[in-house]
Amino acid sequence: MSLKIAVMPGDGIGVEIIAEAVKVLEHYKSNGRLDAELTNAPVGGAGYDAAGKPLPDETLALAKASDAILFGAIGGPEYDGLARELRPEKGLLGLRSELELFANLRPAILYPQLADASSLKPEVVSGLDIMIVRELTGGIYFGEPRGIETDASGERKGFNTLVYKESEIDRISRVAFDIAMKRGKRLCSVDKANVLEVSELWREVVVKASADYPEVELSHMYVDNAAMQLVKWPKQFDVMVTKNMFGDILSDCAAMLTGSIGMLPSASLDANSKGMYEPIHGSAPDIAGKGIANPLATILSVAMMLRYSLDHAELADEIDAAVGRVLDKGLRTPDIMANGCKEVGTVEMGEAVLAEL
């Protein structure tokens, strides 16, 4: 039976970059190496324009019926004045929660050809390849009780609750162990077990799960040290797993080590490895419609989709390698442009990857 892929370009440059990524999928369809059915659906501002809400019912139904979702980006100044529940972001958050996408995979990869784009020394980051696995639907961002209250003396206090059930910790750690098995077989669990009881439990559950993954070398690190080590010597890490808030911060830090927002893909997975795949960047209204957006983060998101949801790791490897060769040839969109390279637009970059494939 054909695999079902939902394609959601969204807004701004989302439309331009998704067009290039879809060409890669169509390429594999046409040469018979991928049996898949692609269906488009509006989301975000485009969803509001089409159906009056950022996550139209038909879009959600399609997402639920698909094996994987390729997502562009949402948002734009024309939607900023809408009521909160109609804003484009609600489309993205709605998909994450409706599909229970609890595992956020954020690779920080720095192709050696782009080492100069980082704010760190080339020898520290060149060839960097880390995968951060962030728990996405629990922890302090969702814990109850939460709020702002005024006490008897009239002073206000704000509070949130950091809570994790054993089952939540177990399922995210197993995702991370599975990924480590497909990579360098090293997993670092990041917590704050010296201060927080939740982290004590986190560590205990991760250690228990590790019994099922004897080949993976498990280590633990406090989050403050992890932040320091990421900047000091990031290449020491293979896979990192951590709770929602720590992952939010560490994954942005790791992403920026690479210095190129237009290059980084991401995935959000459910318990059955169904996933939503998207570049980490937004809809970039400042360059939308100019044909200069970098499509590589989205093309690399297709590679992640093939690897983690569609069981086609061999195609994923080909795409990753093709991107490397395009960079070797000196082709660059303006966001990663460097001396001596040739500047190209979105379509030219997409075509160059196709030519390599």
Q: What's the angle, vertex CA 103, arms to CA 100 and CA 109, rounded to 5?
A: 145
As a whole number of angstroms, the distance between CA 195 and CA 96 comes to: 30
The one-letter amino acid at 131: M
Give, for 18, the enclosing helix (H) or strand (E): helix 13-30
CB within 8 Å of 260: residues ≥ 6 apart: 114, 117, 294, 335, 336
In this structure, which long-range contacts are made by residues 80-87, counting pairs with CB atoms below 8 Å and at least 24 apart in sequence? 82/48, 86/48, 86/52, 86/53, 86/54, 87/54
Q: Which of 21, 108, 221, 284 binds ligand NAD (CB under 6 A)?
A: 284
Q: In the window 90-119, what residues touch ligand NAD (CB under 6 A)?
A: 92
Coil/strand/helix, residue 241: strand
Q: Provide, rounded to whole angstroms, the least separation between the CB of residue 249 and ligand NAD.
A: 16
As a whole number of Å, the CA-based R_g of the chain is 21
When asked if residue 286 is in the footprint of ligand NAD (CB under 6 A), the reply is: yes
The one-letter amino acid at 314: E
Nearer of residues 73 and 254 to ligand NAD, judged by Cβ: 73
Q: Which of 258, 335, 344, 349 binds ligand NAD (CB under 6 A)?
A: 335
Q: Provide, rounded to whole angstroms, the least separation between the CB of residue 122 and ligand NAD.
A: 22
Q: In the window 6-65, what residues touch ligand NAD (CB under 6 A)?
A: 13, 17
- Choose the stretch contacting ligand NAD; rule: CB under 6 A; options: 71-79, 106-114, 170-178, 311-319: 71-79
- What is the DSSP pairing of strand 239-242 with strand 265-269? unpaired
* Dihedral pair phi/psi, residue 79, rounded to 5°: -105, 0
When asked if residue 76 is in the footprint of ligand NAD (CB under 6 A), the reply is: yes
- Choose the stretch contacting ligand NAD; rule: CB under 6 A; options: 119-127, 214-222, 236-244, 293-301: 293-301
| Active-site amino acid positions | 141, 192, 224, 248, 252
Q: Which of 139, 234, 259, 262 binds ligand NAD (CB under 6 A)?
A: 262
Site for ligand NAD, rule CB under 6 A: 13, 17, 73-76, 89, 92, 261-262, 278, 281-287, 293-294, 297, 335
